Amino acid sequence: MPRLSSGFVIAGAYADKIRRTMFAQMRDYVKRDKEWGQRIALAIAQLNRFLYTLLVEQLKIDKGDVVRVRIDYDIDEQNKNIVWKWDTLTVEAFRRVPQEEVEKVVKTLTAKALEISTAAVAYTLEKLGETFDGDIVLAIKLGEREVGAAIITPVNESLAVLKKGAVLEPTPAIFDKVRLDISPDKMLDEVLRETLSKVILSARHVDANEALNTINAIRERVAVKPMAGYEEVEEGTEE
């Protein structure tokens, strides 16, 4: 059974490392059939969604802390799908969190891993400014942290268009040209939050650099300071 291992990596970069490692392991499948690339990206996004809940929301890991994630998986060739073996997941955290606490939380959360890995993300929005042609630029936040940006074009009271959006957490992703239908009982920001919250299903999953470049291109439209990237991965040897 194949195994995915992140190696030792700073917590701020685990999502990108997992993506690169998984695509390296599955490169032969991607070469044979492009559809595999989409299926692998979705599986990675679901794993990263789960790990965000575990590491950031539950264990309160700092971006500079070091973690290592390992999990076995099956390759369903008939349905072109990656099946995570959640009961094999092991997570190590170094510097701030006692390992026994990590193991306790892992055991608790893996019982509902499928639900967590596909759950909506509770983003909030903060207006950064407007462009000369009337587009609205917004910061996308998780808690107090800015994790992305979006630019929208209001059309009328019942319609707007998300021209572009990108997030780094819980998994790097980009939204392209999404129609936002605004019902009478909802505000534009509420509809946009709902669209962004379905990042696992509705976005295009990319590496962290592509997402960061998109975020900063959006921020540049209203002359806002670029968002800083994560530190480079701290590699370590495997057992």
Walk me through the domains of the chain, giving residue ranges and CATH numbers.
3-117 (3.30.470.50), 124-220 (no CATH)
Helix (H, G, I), strand (E, B) or coil at 154: strand
Q: How many other CB atoms are found less than 10 A from the CB of residue 19?
A: 22
Give me the pLDDT at residue 96, please. Answer: 62
Backbone phi, then psi, for 200, in 5-degree steps?
Answer: -65, -35
| pLDDT over 70, % of the chain | 95
**CA distances for 128 relative to 72, 81, 123, 138, 227, angstroms:** 42, 39, 16, 5, 13
Alpha-carbon distance of 5 to 238, in angstroms, equals: 9
Confidence of residue 233 (pLDDT cuts 50, 70, 90): very low
* Contact assessment for residue 49 and residue 104, using Cβ atoms and an 8 Å cutoff: no
Instruction: State the pTM of this model.
Output: 0.75
Distance between CA 134 and CA 137 in Å, rounded?
10
Q: Residue holding tokens 């170094």?
A: 94
For 93-146, the pLDDT digits (tens) are: 886 677 888 888 899 999 899 888 888 889 999 999 999 989 999 999 988 889
Q: What is the pLDDT of residue 230?
A: 60
Alpha-carbon span 35 to 80, nearest angstrom: 8
**How far apart, in Å, do the first and last CA atoms of the chain sit?**
17
pLDDT of residue 95: 63
Give residue-wise pLDDT tens across range 144-202: 889 999 999 999 889 999 999 999 999 999 999 999 998 888 888 899 988 888 887 88
